[in-house]
Amino acid sequence: MNMPYRPFGRTGEKVSILGFGAMRLPFLEGRRELIDVPLATKMLYYALDHGVNYVDTAFPYHGASFDGTPGKSEGFVGDALANGGYRDKVLIATKLPHWAVHSREDMDRLINGQLERLRTDHIDCYLMHGMGKEPWEKLLGFGVLDFIEKIKADGRARFVGFSYHDEPQNFAPVVDGYDWDFCQIQYNFLDIEEQAGAAGLAYAAGKGLAIVIMEPLKGGRLATPVPAPIQQIWDGYPVKRSAQEWALDFVWDDPRVSLLLSGMSTFEQVVDNVQIAAGGAAGALTAEDHALIAKVREAYKARIVVDCTGCRYCMPCPQGIDIPRALAMVNDAALYENLVEEKRGYGMMTSMGGALASACTECGQCEEACPQLLKVPEELKSAVRLFE
């Protein structure tokens, strides 16, 4: 079982096509900040011992309060890699939390704290976390370009990139804002037109950036359990792969992708993903395979229950509710029949400062602005019922 490797853009590095994401580690007592260290360490070491050489973490993962207090993921990664010579065998990726930046000095303070938690003198792949139009403009105003040049010059970061969460039209300005080494985008066979999407992937690759894919399984939603009508489509095809394999192979089929990240929560998931990665190859899917995936994509879309296009004309909400995101989670609960994952995402959204859907006062401002003529307050009640 051999792990395939691909070039990491123009950096000269080769990376495993499967990266270890440290965002969904196993935890105890229902508390994300209480990482199950023995099990998580076993999972990480298994991945590294089977060829994975890219580990992705971030400031907020596993229990950050989003008030400047970091989560526990970076510390876990640092402690685990400090043993057995693992640090020298991997590329560590972590991210600058733009919401905790209020000055140019904050950037240095944050990365220095990350270096300490990661128990290293350099971060191989440093990202501006969750870029979009507003976060990027905010960081530019605080002198982020000077910061990037300084950390590359003094060796605190080897390669610099960004992760992206915004509308498609805002992607190119971030790509063009600096001579990046790489970018990290959400991409899977459903999200070909969401966020950066397929067009953004092509644009960044055309600029020479290494492409790191996050959410190839949409947080596990595209893996088991699969809604029965969707599973019937997979089962009716002569080539037999698990839903998880189809989703991962879709991403690896694109030669412009350097690696994908999987945020694994169980040891079995690590074993499965390592095994699947051994067969991951660019151009391996046939035209018939892609037609099948397109059929599954349309079957998923047919399950949408709220006709929200995410245009955001309803924003800003006077009560601070991220209406499009809340409605997207209502749709995802119907699409994937995975209420646990949607509740987790809803909790993360509200912990980052977003208001609960139940804060809606039914003022009607959103209904007046909605080009789809949705009864938005009524739709938000679905989010309250499902997630609160």
Per residue in 344-366, pLDDT (tens digit) is: 888 877 776 779 999 999 999 99
DSSP, collapsed to helix, strand or coil, labels residue 94 as strand
Tell me how crowded residue 141 is: count the other CB atoms within 10 A of its CB.
Answer: 10
User: DSSP letters along 175-218, please?
Assistant: HTTS--SEEEEE--SS-SSSTTHHHHHHHHHHTT-EEEEE-TTT
What pLDDT, in 10s, does the model give residues 65-110? Answer: 656 789 999 999 999 999 999 999 999 999 999 999 999 999 999 9
Which of 192, 186, 196 has its CA nearest to residue 300?
Answer: 192
**Rounded to two decimals, what is the model's pTM?**
0.87
How far apart CA 382 and CA 387 sit, in angstroms, is: 8
Strands (E), 115-197: 123-131, 157-164, 182-186
What pLDDT, in 10s, does the model give residues 187-207? Answer: 999 999 989 999 999 999 999
- Under 8 Å CB-to-CB from 139, ≥6 apart: which residues? 96, 98, 101, 128
